[in-house]
């Protein structure tokens, strides 16, 4: 009987015991498996239990020339005289065969001997097969020599691990105490005795017998301070009554943690001492820091704030209309740039009350320049507002008081220059003209200060009326014609067709245009160019006014101050001494309070272009709050 046929019959028995015949295809498949197997496959038959067949892998494994040579040997003859457990191979082989026949299968490890005398380790599976009323054994043998060598190498390394490990390793017996210390432990703790509780390094270790024997945890960890060093101990139960401690020196880590704690305490102390509210968020807007001043100003506690989205706690609204102000925090996170809070912003506290605040938000970036969140700083400006208001009221009062004597000086100077009280000589007329011009400058300054005070106090009025903006501009340009001609400037006008009539305050808009044109003409050198254009923007929601010049431009480092009070750029002070530094501040206040926008582009020594966007919907009417002199001059 061929071995592949026996293998086929065995498979047939397992998969379908009721089958009596196999197809030619099944027989061919079994033969292929038998011949191609990398394991040695053979059969043994009673009563002698000699081999009756073997596949090619069998011949290779036992170094037999052919199947005939292999079949001439009994199983125990292909083994050393004794097995590793000391039993004779002949007796033990018969026991293995009997067990397989009795139980159906037997899997065991065996030491075989090749025909060249070389011993090797193998795994053997004996399976009982019933065939045509008789029984025989089907054997599969796998050479595990290389696997055994790897295991032996691994066991050797594991066995030597505690000895060569530079970290302390200790084994503790439940009954005997400390039963092993490696060389590293002996070097560090030569005073260590048998009783683990007698030394800080092992004190309390017996408690882990019970903890780990309950199988709730595979290992336990603890930190121990001994001999001025910190150690992390990993405790494992390596036998029912034996613990092993692997210890690692973590002193440097603990020192680093202490430094971090000290730095944290220092940072917290600094934040606590800052007079401003400081709030930090992650990139998703969740609050991760909330200092004491922030608690006081918002009414929310640290515990209420941490982990919450800033939008739920920090509610900022515009002072003039109570509408939410622009989200400068989100902008800082999105753009990665510092952003400023809008002017005249109120913080809505937890109890609903409001306080004026000011300041900014800046992005928090990692080492790679990626934005990880933001830090928001804001302060209560109630006191500043009160001082500003008092200052503005004083300026307003003083300016009113100054207007009367200045007007009188102007009238009398005009009368003298007109010869109403007699003819003046040349020198008298020269001096009187200087007095008159100086007085006019004082009147302009007083007028500008009054305008600023009315804007800041909110006492100015807006009286919209249907206005032809083009006609207003042409009238202004005609007023400036003498100055344009005097400097031989080229004046370019560009106007779109069918510009709508806007409902605006003519006096206020005239003041804005007058300031922009005056600056463009004043700061453009002779034979330069000034351009004025009127058009609708792309969405036709605003009328766009553009005033450009080829003048001295504004230095880049001073451009953020252009719309502040009493500012004049350094490069124009030397060329043009006259000017209040208030015109652009007033223009911006008028346009923004009318719902429009004003901005500019400038390059030093090349020129400046100012843009004004006035909503097509026009300006909204505004009363002056009871002031006796509500209109801007």
Predicted local distance difference test score (pLDDT) of residue 392: 63
**Whether the Cβ atoms of residue 342 and residue 328 lie closer than 8 Å to each other:** yes
- How buried is 531 (Cβ within 10 angstroms: 0-12 exposed, 13-18 middle, 19+ buried)? middle
pTM of the model as a whole: 0.43
- The DSSP code for 85 is T
Give the residue among 623, 627, 599 at the shortest CA–CA distance from 613: 599
| 614 strand-pairing partners | 543
Q: Return d(Cα 592, Cα 412) in angstroms, integer.
A: 40
CA 461 to chain centroid, in Å, comes to: 48
3-143: CATH, from 1.25.40.10, 1.10.150.80, 3.30.420.40, 3.30.450.20: 3.30.450.20
Question: What pLDDT score was predicted for residue 382?
Answer: 82
Q: Would 150-253 and 465-615 be classified into the same CATH topology?
A: no
Cβ neighbours, 10 Å, residue 33: 15
Look up the CATH architecture of domain 274-380. Answer: 2-Layer Sandwich (3.30)
Q: What is the pLDDT of residue 607?
A: 93
8 Å CB contact between 71 and 55: no
Please state which architecture CATH assigns to domain 465-615.
2-Layer Sandwich (3.30)
Q: Looking at beta carbons, which pairs linking 34-37 to residues 24 or more positions away fall under 8 Å?
A: 34/3, 34/4, 34/7, 35/4, 37/140
- Interatomic CA distance for residues 285 and 327, integer angstroms: 12
Strand partners, 181: 170
User: What does 130-158 look like in DSSP terms, one character per residue?
Assistant: EETTEEEEEEEEEE-HHHHHHHHHHHHHH
Tell how strand 169-173 and strand 177-181 pair up: antiparallel
**Cα→Cα distances 219→169, 182, 216, 243, 248, Å:** 15, 20, 9, 10, 15
Predicted pLDDT of residue 367 = 81
CB of 595 closer than 8 Å to CB of 616: no
Contact between residue 585 and residue 429 where contact means Cβ atoms under 8 Å apart: no
Rounded Cα distance, 297 and 382, in Å: 12
From CA 442, how far away is CA 403, in angstroms rounded? 9
Predicted local distance difference test score (pLDDT) of residue 458: 63
Q: Kindly state the helix (H) or strand (E) to which residue 411 belongs, with its residue range.
A: helix 382-417
Q: Could you say which of 3.20.10.10, 3.40.50.150, 3.30.450.20, 3.30.230.70 is the CATH number of the domain covering 150-253?
A: 3.30.450.20
Q: Both ends of the chain: CA-CA distance in Å?
A: 124
Q: Apex CA 217: angle with CA 213 and CA 221, to 5°?
A: 105
Residue 162 has a pLDDT of 61
Contacts of range 294-298, beta carbons closer than 8 Å, 24 or more positions apart: 297/347, 297/349, 297/355, 297/357, 297/378, 297/380, 298/347, 298/349, 298/350
CB-CB contact of 356 with 337 (8 Å): no
Extract the residue ranges of the chain whose pLDDT is less than 50: 1-23, 26, 626-630
Cα atoms in the 13 Å half-sphere on the side-chain side of 468? 8
Residues 6, 476: Cα–Cα separation, whole Å = 116
Residue-wise pLDDT for 194-230, tens only, equals: 898 888 898 998 888 888 877 666 788 899 898 899 9
pLDDT the model gives residue 454: 65
Of 41, 77, 74, nearest to 56 (Cα)?
Answer: 41
pLDDT (0 to 100) of residue 315: 92
pLDDT digits (tens, 9 = 90+) for 519-559: 999 889 999 999 999 999 888 889 999 999 999 899 998 89
CB contact set of 462 (below 8 Å; sequence gap of 6+):
505, 508, 593, 594, 619, 620, 621, 622
Map out the domains of the chain as residue ranges.
3-143, 150-253, 274-380, 385-457, 465-615
């Amino acid at each position: 009987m061929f071995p592949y046929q026996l293998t086929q019959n065995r498979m047939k028995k397992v998969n379908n015991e009721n089958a009596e015949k196999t197809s030619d295809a099944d027989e061919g498949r079994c033969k292929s498996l038998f011949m191609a197997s990398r394991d040695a496959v053979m059969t043994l038959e009673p009563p002698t239990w000699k081999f009756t067949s073997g596949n090619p892998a069998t011949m290779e494994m036992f170094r037999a020339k052919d199947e005939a040579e292999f079949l001439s040997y009994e199983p125990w003859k292909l083994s050393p005289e004794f097995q590793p457990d000391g039993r004779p191979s002949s007796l033990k082989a018969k026991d293995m065969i009997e067990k397989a026949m009795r139980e159906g299968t037997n899997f065991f490890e065996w030491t075989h001997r090749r025909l060249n005398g070389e011993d090797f380790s193998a795994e053997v599976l004996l399976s009982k097969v019933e065939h045509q009323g008789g029984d025989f054994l089907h054997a599969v043998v796998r050479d595990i020599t290389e696997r055994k060598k790897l295991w032996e190498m691994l066991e050797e390394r594991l066995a030597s691990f505690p000895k060569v490990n530079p970290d302390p390793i200790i084994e503790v017996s439940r009954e005997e105490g400390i039963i092993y210390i490696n060389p590293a432990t002996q070097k560090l703790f030569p005073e260590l005795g048998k009783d683990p509780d007698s030394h800080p390094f092992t004190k309390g270790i017996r408690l882990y017998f019970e903890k780990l024997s309950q199988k709730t945890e595979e290992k336990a960890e603890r930190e121990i301070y001994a001999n001025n060093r910190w150690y992390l101990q990993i405790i494992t139960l390596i036998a029912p009554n034996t613990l092993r401690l692997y210890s690692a020196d973590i002193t440097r880590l603990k020192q680093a943690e202490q430094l971090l704690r000290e730095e944290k305490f220092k940072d917290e102390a600094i934040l606590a001492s800052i007079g401003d509210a400081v709030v930090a968020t992650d990139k998703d807007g969740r609050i991760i820091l909330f200092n004491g001043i922030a608690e006081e100003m918002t009414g929310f506690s640290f515990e209420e704030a941490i982990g919450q989205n800033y939008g739920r706690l920090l509610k900022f609204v515009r002072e003039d209309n109570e509408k939410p102000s622009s989200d400068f925090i989100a902008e800082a996170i999105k753009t990665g740039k510092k952003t400023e809070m809008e002017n005249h912003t109120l913080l809505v506290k937890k109890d609903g009350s409001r306080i004026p605040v000011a300041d900014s938000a800046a992005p928090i970036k990692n080492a790679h320049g990626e934005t990880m969140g933001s830090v928001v700083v804001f302060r209560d400006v109630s006191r500043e507002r009160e001082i500003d208001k008092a200052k503005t009221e004083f300026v307003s009062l003083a300016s009113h008081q100054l207007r009367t004597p200045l007007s009188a000086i102007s009238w009398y100077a005009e009368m003298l220059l007109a010869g109403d009280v007699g003819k003046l000589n040349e020198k008298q007329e020269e001096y009187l003209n200087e007095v008159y011009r100086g007085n006019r400058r004082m009147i302009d300054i007083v007028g500008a200060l009054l305008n600023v005070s009315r804007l800041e106090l909110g006492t100015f009025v807006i009286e919209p009326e249907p206005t032809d903006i083009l006609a207003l501009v042409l009238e202004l340009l005609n007023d400036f014609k003498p100055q344009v001609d005097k400097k031989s400037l080229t004046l370019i006008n560009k106007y779109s067709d069918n510009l709508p009539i806007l409902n605006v305050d003519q006096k206020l808009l005239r003041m804005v245009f007058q300031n922009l044109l005056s600056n463009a003409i004043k700061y453009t050198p002779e034979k330069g160019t000034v351009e004025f254009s009127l058009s609708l923007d792309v969405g036709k929601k605003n009328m766009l006014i553009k005033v450009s010049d080829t003048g001295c431009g504004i230095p880049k480092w001073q451009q953020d101050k252009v719309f502040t009070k009493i500012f004049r750029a350094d490069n124009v002070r030397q060329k043009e001494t006259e000017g209040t530094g208030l015109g652009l501040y007033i223009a911006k206040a008028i346009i923004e309070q009318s719902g429009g926008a004003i901005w500019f582009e400038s390059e030093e020594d090349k020129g400046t272009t100012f843009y004004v966007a006035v909503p097509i919907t026009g300006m909204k009417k505004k009363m002056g709050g009871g002031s006796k002199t509500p209109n801007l001059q």
